[in-house]
Amino acid sequence: MAENGLGWREKVLSLDSMNPCIKKVEYAVRGPIVTRAVQLEKELKEGAKKPFTEVIRANIGDAHAMGQKPITFLRQVCALCMYPELLNDPSFPKDAKEKARKLLEGCGGQSIGAYSASPGIDCIRQHVASFIERRDGGIPSNPDNIFLSTGASDGIVTILKLLVSGEGHSRTGVLIPIPQYPLYSAALAELNAVQVNYYLDEENCWALDVGELRRALHEARRHCQPRALCLINPGNPTGQVQSRKCIEDVIHFAWEEHLFLLADEVYQDNIYAKGSQFHSFKKVLFEMGPKYSGTVELASFYSISKGFMGECGFRGGYMEVVNMDPGVQQQLSKLVSVRLCPPVTGQIVLDAVVNRPEPGDLSYQQFEQEKKAVLAALAEKARLTEETLNRAPGFRCNPVQGAMYAFPRIQLPPRAVEAAKAQGQAPDMFFCLRLLEETGICVVPGSGFGQKEGTFHFRMTILPPLEKLQILLQKLTQFHAKFLREYS
């Protein structure tokens, strides 16, 4: 009997009555490892004694949380738009003020506190189109095909919503790379779509093989209707940069098999390896000629959270659609209108990124210096991570050609695998939890991204400051050596 003499009533919303698709959603990047890391941080603050003095968060690509300094020009433009009284402050450069004034003119009531148009502020969409044209060597980009988004994730999920339909054997299947960024598996689970795995080739620097795509597609067609192919370039969590030849092969495959392409290109500024180069899917598509450029349907995505900017908290990004059916594009416009508009502050920062200072502008030199310094530091840390891990017994790490992560393969002895199973854990989860408890290092087990059966990995970001990264790598390799001794 409940208080006040009222009888027990069943909850309207319970685990049994809730949407069953939500219970299938998993997002390893913020999963149980991170929950435990937060608990450990609280325990340290409360004076608990641990074998370490701090938790090193190497689990997520959050540059500023890892100590990266903001790009001055981006913050100046944002500050001026947030508080227009600063337009009278002589300490702000003239070009930042001019940009802020133009952006405010595009806002309702000249305030970023007003809603924008649902696809984004019009002048920013125009600037995004110009940015894409410059990036792709003059290939036209239509602002009407640009939709600003709450980071890239929002755009990706929106396109997946349009694609998913059918029941049973006609249910939409979506090909995703394994290893993958868990946004994809989580979104497909929520939408009750069919996840179709294709495996990247670890022995060939995580390259994408069209033969593997064909295998995955043909097997999937026995039980679902594959309609879309997702690609992450540069790769997350695997750090590879796909060659132009590979992209051409994928586009031909999509044309041949009648698949919609989703190109996740949020790390396009993050290219480190000598000989590696970013090729946008759109540029390659149009250079392959009208047979492809007039027919293959493509949505590509960009974010201010990555690159040299690292402005994760502003939640800004865009998607560009190519060859989308006009009727579907109208439905897309309707769908984005339901969430009113992306955060206007994120749109402002995005504009400062795509419409950045040019030679001769007052802010150009400082902007370029800061941008180059961030990317050079990341390149050095990518090299250090790969070399350090490959020197240590029991690790194998492919070159970190781009993005912000290493995804090393680790040796786990059979006794460790058995101990993990006894605790109901994946072996790499068991390893990563032990690593966290004994060293304070927080990384994400490879099972959260997908991996070939019998292999074990983890994802770690290369974002910590160089001195802290060196400490992390030293502790990590020492712990693994101890772990091997314990379970051998």
Q: Where are the beta strands (DSSP E) in 271-374?
A: 298-303, 317-322
CA triplet 311, 299, 176: central angle to 5 degrees?
85
pLDDT band at 1 (very low <50, low <70, confident <90, very high): very low
At 166 the pLDDT is: 87
- pLDDT value of residue 241: 95
Mean pLDDT check: name the lowest of 12-16, 44-48, 278-282, 350-354: 12-16
Give pTM, 2 decimals: 0.90
Average pLDDT over the chain reads 91
* CA 378 – CA 233 distance, rounded (Å): 17
DSSP 403: T
For residue 2, pLDDT over 60 is answered with no
Q: What's the pLDDT score for residue 381?
A: 95
Q: For residue 86, report the phi and psi dihedrals to the nearest 5 degrees.
A: -70, -15
pLDDT digits (tens, 9 = 90+) for 116-132: 888 899 999 999 999 99
3-state DSSP assignment of residue 346: helix
Look at residue 3 in the predicted model and tell me its pLDDT.
Answer: 55
pLDDT, tens only, 66-89: 889 999 999 999 999 999 999 999
Q: pLDDT by residue (tens digit) across 433-480?
A: 999 999 999 999 998 888 888 899 999 999 999 999 999 999 999 999
**Per-residue pLDDT reduced to its tens digit, 208-232:** 999 999 999 999 999 999 999 999 9
**Mean local confidence (pLDDT), 387-400:** 94
CA angle at residue 187 from 131 to 10, to 5 degrees?
Answer: 140
pLDDT in tens, 304-333: 999 998 999 899 999 999 999 999 999 899
In the chain, % of residues over pLDDT 90:
72
Question: Could you tell me which residues come within 8 angstroms of residue 14 by beta carbon, excluding any fewer than 6 positions away?
Answer: none
Cβ–Cβ contacts within 10 Å for residue 125, how many?
27
- pLDDT in the model for residue 449: 87
Q: Report angle CA 24, 26, 27 to the nearest 5 degrees.
A: 160
Q: Which helix (H) or strand (E) holds 467?
A: helix 466-487
